[in-house]
Amino acid sequence: MSILFSEKTKTFHLYNQKISYIMTVLPNGHMGQLYFGKRIHHKEDFSCLLERQRRPMTACVFDDDSSFSLEHTRQEYGVYGTTDFRHPAVEILQEDGSRLSDFVYAGHEVTAGKPKLPGLPATYTEAQEEAETLVVRLKDAQTQMALEMFYTIFAEGGILTRSVRFTNEGKKNVQLTRAMSLCLDLPDCGYEWMQFSGAWARERHLKVRKLEQGIQAVDSIRGNSSHDHNPFIVLKRPTADEEQGEVMGFGLIYSGNFLAQAQVDTYDMTRVLLGIHPFHFSWKLEPGESFQTPEAVVVYTREGLGDMSRTFHRLYQRRLARGYWRDRERPILNNNWEATYFDFTEERLVEIAEKAKDCGVELFVLDDGWFGARRNDHAGLGDWYANRELLPHGIKGLAEKIEALGMKFGLWFEPEMVNGDSDLYRSHPDWILETPGRHASLGRHQYVLDFSRPEVVDHIHEQMSKILSEAKISYVKWDMNRSITECYSRALPADRQGEVFHRYILGVYDLYERLTSEFPHVLFESCASGGGRFDPGLLYYAPQGWASDDSDAVERLKIQHGTSFCYPVSSIGSHVSVVPNHQVFRETPLHTRANVAYFGTFGYELDLNKLTKEEQEEVKEQIRFMKQYRKLLQFGSFYRLSSPFEGDGNVTAWMAVSEDKREAVLGWYRILSHANPPLARLRLSGLDERLCYRITENGRERTGVYYGDELMNAGLITTEGVSGETAPGEKGGCDFDSRIFVLKAERSCLEGEE
């Protein structure tokens, strides 16, 4: 890992064993992009990579040189209006109405490690040798605006992070109206664009299309990263697949409005922009004030989509998530929500918890309905104190009863919201986001609290901290059940209303930071009607998130497959729920519901008392299995083997492999059963080709041993028995079927061979 600067050619070369990132100071003082890709040899002069060519209808930016126009030059942080007509990375409105900027190189510094971003989540290092950071300083002489571009290259993996800090060093106010975290100009457009989109209950479905001239983008202007799109995109070469080929992944560590965009010009050059969405955004910078953008993460590989994903997994799991629970196996939980909804008493909760404990559950979670006047979703939000009619001994008393059973206790909050029917709203009706004189929209019968105001955050913090201090609470489920409308804060003047969306997210981060610091042993799980804010920003505070409110095993195949492209298995909240499923009303076998949920944090979303004795015994076996292989499933290397988005999507398969490659768990899922099906084999990944493995399938050992290279090349036979022709004692297949294979390495297959 190194960052080199050539004083003679004004060229920077950032590199490690995987990648090179090369940029230079252009003739007009702007920063130009020369190369991003696989590691190449260093040399003092890379000027051959700067393309300059005369073109018709080109405006000359420098010394009337028609070969040098920003329109046809790859840049590090493009500005519109001085011969570049592409969408810019930055725009600054000045007091005279001008929006032009001219950011010229003014210096740089290189430091070991990685600095924190004030008030924002970001990746980090624990030792200085893990990364190096380059800060390139640019200055606009007219406005005296300073721009610092941060580049961190990690020692391991093809990882580069970027962010930008603006400082008003002039004497006049300015309005920052666009401030992207990343601008990357690529020399061609021969990529396929991959996005992860959907809606409530079908989040992060994979969409793939060829890049074409024009603009391709995903975004959110909902105030949260959203169910609709995720702040993560991939550009891959058309020939790239899971195991090989050039791939770039782009992630934004942010939880609010975002834009991820690729613009291909008519010369087939591609500009990638990633950052806070400029729509409805502005930030007033008075003299001496600064603004820091969120961090963007870029992963480059020539080893396929799988390698890209595992690189993101390792980074987010080890150097984005923090604290006590970062590296710890997640407790198996039972949440009461789909078991009771609002209809519960303390006695009923203890009854559910007793059965959960009997089955091996480690954590009991009380969901919505325990506070204030909350008997339905019309009242109570904002009043974070126990309803003594339901819980006569309060949260403290209930937690003690759960702890006495030998389990930990968890609690649901929705701290960012308030009902009109609540003490908080009656005391502070001005604390919600609403535009004066206009109707305030409701979502799930609730308003959004104005978290851009410190006093609002302080009030909610005081209530939550009191509960967490008084009761033995080991887990918090932090929900957020609506997007932001009428985005206006009564606490800010007119020329700062464009700051509300971002200030709101900063308020959320502030509350998370305070609570996670005060209660470091509490496991926080983020939730937003399921997957409405499943993003890297929250992983910094909550190492796991409820991936979707849809807990149907079949729907979860697509949700968890799509999620896995960026997010580690340890971050994916996944539970076994009752059938018929409460979202799609499908009946799936109990074993399939568990086999899908194993590849996540794992838990139950039902009343185990209502299962048959046979089903309860099956649950006990599921929990025993999860406890035995939990570390491997949650922290092993994850490989996608068969996609629900390809072909007919009938078969999905994935696997987790231990670091030493001596152990693996494979999940195989088939949606619809077919009569007399064809032969089938599944090629595995991630194994040691020299090792031999014994395989158990659904707990029964297969005959023989198998070399790793055999399983990865010849494949594992997964042909199903012919319908109607099963052998005596053999169980036939069914719709929504699944199998779990466990692979364990032997010392050798043949005597004397290693």
Name the residues annotated as catalytic.
479, 549
Q: What is the enclosing helix (H) or strand (E) of 53?
A: none
Q: Is 676 exposed, middle or buried (0-12, 13-18, 19+ CB in 10 A)?
A: exposed
Cβ atoms within 10 A of the Cβ of 511, count?
22
Sign of dihedral through CA atoms 571, 593, 481, 280?
positive
CA atoms lying within 13 Å on the CB side of residue 729: 0
Which of 110, 105, 117 is closest to 1 using CA atoms?
110
Phi, psi of 435 (to 5 degrees): -95, 125
Residues 6 or more apart from 699 whose CB is under 8 A from it? none
Residues 6 or more apart from 706 whose CB is under 8 A from it? 692, 693, 694, 695, 716
Sign of dihedral through CA atoms 415, 419, 425, 426?
negative
CA atoms lying within 13 Å on the CB side of residue 133: 21
- How many residues are there in the chain? 754
DSSP conformational letter for 421: B
DSSP conformational letter for 439: P
Which of 307, 360, 293 is closest to 333 using CA atoms?
360
752 φ/ψ sector (left φ>0, alpha ψ -120 to 50, else beta): left
DSSP 3-state of 640: strand
DSSP character string of 276-310 = E-STT--EEE-TT-EEEPPEEEEEEESBHHHHHHH
Q: How far apart are CA 299 and CA 272, in angstroms?
A: 14
Which of 167, 177, 180, 109 is closest to 140 using CA atoms?
167
Q: How far apart are CA 282 and CA 517, in angstroms?
A: 31
Cα 155 to the chain's mean position, in Å?
A: 22
Q: Are strands 475-478 and 447-448 parallel, antiparallel or unpaired?
A: unpaired
Which of 684, 660, 631 is closest to 745 using CA atoms?
660
DSSP conformational letter for 731: P
- Could you give the dihedral angle defined by the CA atoms of residues 652, 658, 660 and 664, in that order, rounded to the nearest 10 degrees? -50
- Could you give the dihedral angle defined by the CA atoms of residues 341, 345, 348 and 354, in that order, rounded to the nearest 10 degrees? 100
- Could you give the dihedral angle defined by the CA atoms of residues 389, 395, 397 and 401, in that order, rounded to the nearest 10 degrees? 110
Cβ atoms within 10 A of the Cβ of 584, count?
14
Q: How far apart are CA 229 and CA 204, in angstroms?
A: 7
Written as six digits, the tokens of 527 are 């939730």
Q: How far apart are CA 341 and CA 72, in angstroms?
A: 59
Q: Which residues of 86-120 are buried (b: 16+ CB within 10 A; e: fewer)?
A: bbbbbbbbbeeeebebbbbbeebeeeeebeebeeb
Say if residues 687 and 712 touch (Cβ distance below 8 Å). Answer: yes
